[in-house]
Amino acid sequence: MMKKFAKVAIAAAITGLSIAAQASLLVDDFSTGQAELVDNTANGSGFSNTQNGSGILGGNRDLYVEKTSGSLAVKLSVEDAAPGFLAYSQDTLTTGYGIVRWDGSNSTNAFGATDRASFDAGRDFAGGLNEDLTGAGNAFRITVIDADLNFPFSLRVYSDATHWSEFIGVAFAGAGDYIINYFGFVAAGSEGGADFSSVDVLEAIFNTPNGTQSADFALDIVQVVPEPESLALVGLGLLGLAATRRRKSVK
Ligand SMILES: [Ca+2]
Ligand SMILES: [Ca+2]
Ligand SMILES: [Ca+2]
């Protein structure tokens, strides 16, 4: 099932072809597992850990989870059993959120921040991914294996601490393949938006803001892909040109 946030629906028809034909960049296939984090208490703090391994852009992944309401547990982990997936769960009538960060370094967050501010302060811009995302594509592709309820999420792209951009959207219940074009991001840094050709930190924040109570979900893979919207527009232009030529040749 293909669900799109992009505005030009006609592009969806050729998405599969173009992704297959062109290179993509793996952000995380979640084939390297990561120990489960469990927050049982809504007390303004959470838990984090960090993991080095293969199948992770930059070789390092940080996780943070925080429970915000309810009486039961909020859990975040990466399960290396096939197909390798990020697993987020909240027990009944409980709400929280989870963060996955790719910043290419194990340095700052190695000891496990227990509050959001400290976790955020652990973004490693000095080490960083040092990645040109424009070379690999123009969209993120997030594959959701399953979700029992709709849940909000955001993606953040950082060039440095003061230049970053954010996409805010909703993933729907069930399985879904989400294509998020760079043009869907808005500048959010204090000095402006991210330069997608010079990216040091990526973050995905799940179930915030206004998280869904009791939502559970699993993600298979996060990639950067060449989303073919511009190709579709070029294609439509060529069709228009062909039609014009045909009319002229008929005369
Ligand atoms: Ca807590
Ligand atoms: Ca890190
Ligand atoms: Ca996977």
Q: Is 147 exposed, middle or buried (0-12, 13-18, 19+ CB in 10 A)?
A: buried
The alpha helices in the chain, defined as continuous H runs, are 12-21, 116-121, 229-250
Distance 41 CA to ligand 1 centre (A): 4
The SS3 call for residue 236 is helix
Distance 60 CA to ligand 2 centre (A): 6
The closest alpha carbon to 194, from 167, 162, 168, belongs to: 162
Distance 2 CA to ligand 2 centre (A): 31
pLDDT band at 107, cuts 50/70/90?
low
Ligand nearest to the CA of 145: 3
Share of the chain above pLDDT 90, in %: 75
Distance 234 CA to ligand 3 centre (A): 33
Ligand nearest to the CA of 108: 2
Backbone φ and ψ of 164, nearest 5°: -150, 160
Distance 233 CA to ligand 3 centre (A): 32
- pLDDT confidence of residue 21: 45
Question: For residues 238 and 167, is the Cβ–Cβ distance under 8 A?
Answer: no
For residues 182 and 193, give the distance between their C-alpha atoms in angstroms, rounded to a whole number.
Answer: 11
Q: What is the mean pLDDT of the chain?
A: 85
Distance 79 CA to ligand 3 centre (A): 9
- pLDDT confidence of residue 228: 66
Residue 235 predicted with pLDDT over 50: no
Ligand nearest to the CA of 74: 1
Distance 33 CA to ligand 3 centre (A): 10
- pLDDT confidence of residue 19: 45
Distance 249 CA to ligand 2 centre (A): 62
- pLDDT confidence of residue 110: 61
Write out the E strands in the chain: 2-4, 25-28, 34-39, 47-52, 60-69, 74-79, 85-90, 95-102, 139-147, 151-160, 163-171, 176-181, 186-187, 201-206, 217-225
Encoded tokens for 228: 């073919």
The closest alpha carbon to 48, from 36, 30, 33, 60, belongs to: 36
Question: For residues 200 and 158, is the Cβ–Cβ distance under 8 A?
Answer: yes
Encoded tokens for 160: 């440095």
| pTM exceeding 0.85 | no
**Adjacent-strand bridge partners of 4:** 179
Distance 21 CA to ligand 3 centre (A): 21
pLDDT band at 209, cuts 50/70/90?
confident
Convert the pLDDT of each residue in 15-73 to its tens digit: 444 444 457 999 999 999 999 999 999 999 999 999 999 999 999 999 999 999 999 99
- For residue 143, the one-letter residue type is T
For residues 165 and 77, give the distance between their C-alpha atoms in angstroms, rounded to a whole number.
Answer: 26
Q: Estimate the crossing angle of helix 12-21 against helix 229-250, to 10 degrees.
A: 110
Residue 182 predicted with pLDDT over 90: yes
Distance 174 CA to ligand 2 centre (A): 30
Which has more pLDDT, 14 or 32?
32
Distance 224 CA to ligand 3 centre (A): 14
Distance 206 CA to ligand 3 centre (A): 17
Ligand nearest to the CA of 44: 1
